[in-house]
Amino acid sequence: MPRNGQTGRVSATSSHTSDHIFHERLDRARQQMSVAGVDTLLVSVGSDLPYLTGYEAMPLERLTMLVVPRDGEATLVIPRLEAPRVVERSGAFTLRPWGETDDPVAIVASLVGGAPATAAVGDTMWARFLVDLLGHWPSGATRYVRSTVVMNALRTRKDAAEVAALRAAGAAADRVAAQLHAGEIALEGRTEAAVSADISARLIAEGHDVVNFAIVAAGENAASPHHHASDRVIRHGDLVLCDFGGTMAGYCSDITRCVSLGEPSAEVTEAYAVLHAAQEAGVRAGVVGAACQDVDRAARSVITEAGWGEYFIHRTGHGIGLEAHEDPYMVEGNLEPIAAGHAFSVEPGIYVAGRWGMRLEDIVVATDAGPDRMNHAARALVTLG
């Protein structure tokens, strides 16, 4: 799901994180730059920046950019008025504030020096800054690659502190799911939008800093996996899908649970039993050394063999961490081996257009001892009313 409500704030690994972690991450980035043949790493707005510095930049027209030479000191170029937001990291990077009449792109170019043979550019850098930077280097002198060639190897394998943050965010989302299951969140007679707002408020009350999404889809609307909560009134007899998550201390939660208002039909009961088994199979397949696609195959085969295959219309999972969706993706064709520290969702779904939809989602971290769920809220289909 998309991240909403981004602000310029100390994030991810905040002011409470030791400087040495950022020093270590930048050292690992340089090592990966050597492996990938990258001379300069240029990181602007987006999640790579807080991962490397602890600072999440506001998406402004004023340039913020971390310049990381493969063999030199990293420098964070930042608008002077934003500099007070940054917690300086001794030995990790230096701060280079710029004033309103300065040319920040020229400052970046001067820090890089001559045109690098290969520059890795952040995926979410604004095109206006990249286009301006091109003018400082001779045409054709530099090869540009995505920063993922450097950053994916670092960010996909979560360290102990990151796993702890994911676990805490998952536990907070679990508490909201438990309130849903207990009937503490009124459903019948309210609009989807009202319930979505209620869930959002509860995520904040449980410790989240930002709500990234709160999908509430009743009856036929749940057949649209990313349904936007509407003014549709939830009625007795509806199957209601709730998929919600946010950001807590920089790391994301994401959980999906379904409830039935009144006894579900035999068809829904049968389909949900298949869904439950599929999700369990997907989680169990998420072992170190397996291919990412094996998680998708394990969940999908259960649904297909039960005759619901055509109604499972999306991949089984996505990576999660500083972003709600990031690498690795659990989808057919992704042969990347699952590694210890990979964090990802397992969320098979069954969607019957015009009638109902269901999905069951937990976040899982791969460990050498096996898959470790970050969510523990009840997975059975709960009946209310």
Same domain for 131 and 172, yes or no, is no
What total of structural domains would you count in the chain? 2
Same domain for 197 and 90, yes or no, is no
Whole domain around residue 173: which residue ranges? 160-384
Q: What is the pLDDT of residue 17?
A: 58
Same domain for 191 and 259, yes or no, is yes
Distance CA 374, CA 385 (A): 29
Same domain for 181 and 304, yes or no, is yes
Residue 218 domain-assigned? yes
Same domain for 237 and 147, yes or no, is no
CA angle 164, 166, 170 (to 5 degrees): 115
- Other CB atoms within a 10 A radius of the CB of residue 187 amount to 23
Same domain for 151 and 169, yes or no, is no
Residue 209 domain-assigned? yes
Same domain for 319 and 266, yes or no, is yes
Residue 372 domain-assigned? yes
Same domain for 209 and 348, yes or no, is yes
Local confidence pLDDT in tens for the 385 residues of the chain: 444 433 434 444 444 457 788 999 999 999 999 999 999 999 999 999 999 999 999 888 999 999 999 998 999 999 999 999 998 887 899 999 999 999 999 999 999 988 999 999 998 899 999 999 988 988 888 999 999 999 998 999 999 999 999 999 999 999 999 999 999 999 999 999 999 999 999 999 999 999 999 999 999 999 999 999 999 999 999 999 999 999 999 999 999 999 999 999 999 999 999 999 999 999 999 999 999 999 999 999 999 999 999 999 999 999 999 999 999 999 999 999 999 999 999 999 999 999 999 999 999 999 999 999 999 999 999 999 8
Residue 28 domain-assigned? yes
Distance CA 360, CA 228 (A): 18
Same domain for 311 and 221, yes or no, is yes
CATH number at residue 128: 3.40.350.10
Residue 1 domain-assigned? no
Residue 2 domain-assigned? no
CATH number at residue 292: 3.90.230.10
- Backbone conformation region of residue 66, classed left if phi is above 0, alpha if psi is from -120 to 50, else beta: beta
Distance CA 234, CA 221 (A): 10
Residue 255 domain-assigned? yes
Same domain for 345 and 238, yes or no, is yes
Residue 230 domain-assigned? yes
Q: What is the pLDDT of residue 6?
A: 39
CA angle 220, 221, 227 (to 5 degrees): 160
Same domain for 92 and 179, yes or no, is no
Q: What backbone torsions phi and psi does residue 107 show, to the nearest 5 degrees?
A: -65, -45
Q: Which of 124, 155, 186 is where one domain is finished?
A: 155
E strands, the chain, in order: 9-10, 40-43, 55-56, 65-69, 74-79, 93-98, 118-121, 143-146, 210-218, 239-248, 251-252, 255-261, 317-319, 326-330, 343-346, 349-352, 356-359, 362-367, 370-373, 382-384
Same domain for 236 and 364, yes or no, is yes
Q: Radius of gyration of the chain from Cα atoms?
A: 23
**Is the model's pTM score more than 0.85?**
yes
Q: Which of 155, 170, 197 is where one domain is finished?
A: 155
Q: Which of 155, 181, 216 is where one domain is finished?
A: 155
